Amino acid sequence: ATPTAFMAATGRGAQLGVLLRGPEALERLRHIDTVVFDKTGTLTTGRMTLAATTAVAGEDAGEILRLAGAVEYGSEHPIGRAVAAAARQAADGNPMPPVTGFRAVPGVGVHGRVDGVEVAVGRPRSGSPLPDVLRRALDDAHAAARTAVVVEKDGRPVAVLAVGDTLRPSSYSAVRHLRKLGIEPILVTGDGPAAARAVAEQVGIDEVHAEITPEGKTAIVAGLRAEGRRVAVIGDGVNDAAALASADLGIAMGGGTDAAIGAADITLVREDMQAVVAAVQLTRRTLSTIR
Ligand code: ADP
Ligand code: MG
């Protein structure tokens, strides 16, 4: 295509709220045949709220929320922000306790030291046993299509926090329209299978990969590319950055982390999933005819 065609397409893309890193992004967008969607913060708004706190006997749910909220204070993950916000609200103006040795592990959770206790908040470890009351809380959360995270004090599971999220209004129609364009949607998430399946069903995605680590996301993209597919990845998190960079085309949500936006070729400024469809249609129309 001519430089003029690229400039026109770039300008129209900007009107759609699609920000391109360079002209190659347009050309690659035109040839995409597979889109790998992240779940939390991508197909869903990522504006999560704490729905339930369940503590083991002998532990106070309010105190656990205070500790968990302190550790999540610096977190940029939607789950962490929900936990921190709930804790701040419960603190009623009192300052959050200080945290030392804070660490965030993308796709897993966070940990740090609060009030002399090592506090971890993160995804349930597969294979490690939970007390019955927490196991039931996990099952209840999953039945309600919520994401459940486990709070540990000094390595001992003491509570389950259930957080709820809502679907982005544009996700369903975007998936349907991508299919019509011959593009296959796939869901790849770090979250558990129940929450993953619930969202996939709501938006109409058949292929679902749950409990996938950030490295696992990259491996799935590599596998698809090895089959000869032209793969776009859409994500928002630090956990998506490597997959975004390794795809034929990386698409970041505008409200996502700096890591995701920095690794992507395209940013969806308005977070409207339908803009991806419009942009594909635009490149197929303008770039193919002017060649
Ligand atoms: P997704 O792929 O849906 O965006 P992530 O890969 O970001 O999910 O996270 C995977 C899982 O890791 C989450 O479902 C959660 O259990 C856990 N997790 C990640 N970050 C945090 C955090 N800051 N606090 C608690 N749990 C977390
Ligand atoms: Mg995400």
Mapped onto helix, strand or coil, the DSSP state of residue 47 is coil
CATH entry, 3-45+167-290, from 3.40.718.10, 3.40.50.1000, 3.40.50.150, 3.40.50.300 = 3.40.50.1000
Residue range 133-156, pLDDT digits in tens: 999 999 999 888 899 999 999 999
Q: What is the pLDDT of residue 25?
A: 92
CATH 3.40.50.1000, the chain: domain bounds: 3-45+167-290
Mapped onto helix, strand or coil, the DSSP state of residue 55 is strand
12 Cβ contact partners less than 8 Å away, ≥ 6 residues apart: 282, 286
Query: Measured from the CA of 46, which atom of ligand 1 is nearest?
Result: 4
The ligand 1 site (C-beta within 6 Å) comprises 38-41, 72, 75, 77, 79-80, 107-110, 121-123, 147, 149, 189-191, 237, 239
**Could you give the dihedral angle defined by the CA atoms of residues 192, 193, 197 and 199, in that order, rounded to the nearest 10 degrees?**
10
Ligand 2 centre distance from Cα of residue 55 (Å): 27
Q: What is the pLDDT of residue 34?
A: 98
Q: What are phi and psi of 277, to 5 degrees?
A: -60, -50
252 Cβ contact partners less than 8 Å away, ≥ 6 residues apart: 234, 235, 236, 240, 244, 260, 261, 263, 264, 266, 267, 268
Ligand 2 centre distance from Cα of residue 33 (Å): 22
Which one of 37, 123, 161 would you pick to mutate in the ligand 1 pocket, going by the greatest count of ligand atoms within 8 A of its CB? Answer: 123
CA angle 229, 230, 233 (to 5 degrees): 115
Q: Determine the Cα–Cα distance for residues 99 and 80; give it in Å rounded to an integer.
A: 15
Which one of 39, 205, 239 would you pick to mutate in the ligand 1 pocket, going by the greatest count of ligand atoms within 8 A of its CB? Answer: 239
Q: Determine the Cα–Cα distance for residues 70 and 38; give it in Å rounded to an integer.
A: 27
Residues of the chain with confidence (pLDDT) below 70: 1, 288-291
CATH number attached to the domain at 49-164: 3.40.1110.10
Ligand 1 centre distance from Cα of residue 122 (Å): 7
Q: Out of 33, 38, 92, 191, which one is annotated catalytic?
A: 38
CATH 3.40.1110.10, the chain: domain bounds: 49-164
Beta partners for residue 44, in sequence order:
167
Alpha carbon nearest to ligand 1 atom 22, residue:
109
The question of whether 38 is a catalytic residue gets the answer: yes
Q: What is the pLDDT of residue 5?
A: 82
Ligand 1 centre distance from Cα of residue 184 (Å): 25
Longest CA–CA span in the chain (Å) reads 71
ipTM comes to 0.95
Q: What is the pLDDT of residue 291?
A: 45
